[in-house]
Amino acid sequence: MSVQIKLDPFSHKKLKHKFKVLGRIYPDETFRAIIKILFDMKRLAQQKLKRDGHIITARLRNSLFVQTLRNKFSNRANNKPVYSDKDGNVFKSKIRVRLKQLQGAFGTNVIYAGFIENLDSYIEWAIQNVDVNKRLREITDNARKKIK
């Protein structure tokens, strides 16, 4: 799945320049915002799974995991490397994805996750409903504060 945004040439050039400046001056701030977006998507997906009644053992919901290279900014209390189901069975959370510096991913390693996604999308739904603008405003607000 991909998302495409079309900009007029002037806006594209202006946006490209701003991201270049932000990426050079504030790479950690930008990456933190990306990680926050991933955590927002994880939370939305978990809420949808619960709301739509796809909770039997809670394994799928608990397995959703945000992963970054060397867990930069993704070590949080709600993002543990292991999780359990309602019966106390313990599983590893890590997803199999190759990441580079300043990249992140969220997903699950549960075998039947694809079936549920195809039946009633929770990951695609979360991606479509995450408030990216909120996180972009945070980057620009923080950048403005640091520039002044």
Please give the residue range of the domain that contains residue 86: 27-147
Provide the domain count of the chain. Answer: 1
Is 12 inside a domain boundary? no
Asked whether residue 5 carries a pLDDT value surpassing 70, the answer given is no
pLDDT value for 66:
94
| Alpha carbon distance 148, 142 (integer Å) | 10
User: Which of residues 46 and 54 earns the better pLDDT score?
Assistant: 46
Q: What is the pTM of this model?
A: 0.76
pLDDT value for 124:
92
Report the range of poorest mean pLDDT among 25-34, 39-48, 100-109, 113-122: 25-34
Is 140 inside a domain boundary? yes
Is 19 inside a domain boundary? no
| Alpha carbon distance 85, 97 (integer Å) | 23
Is 18 inside a domain boundary? no
What is the rounded average pLDDT of the residues 98-122?
Answer: 90
- φ and ψ at 54, to 5 degrees? -90, 25
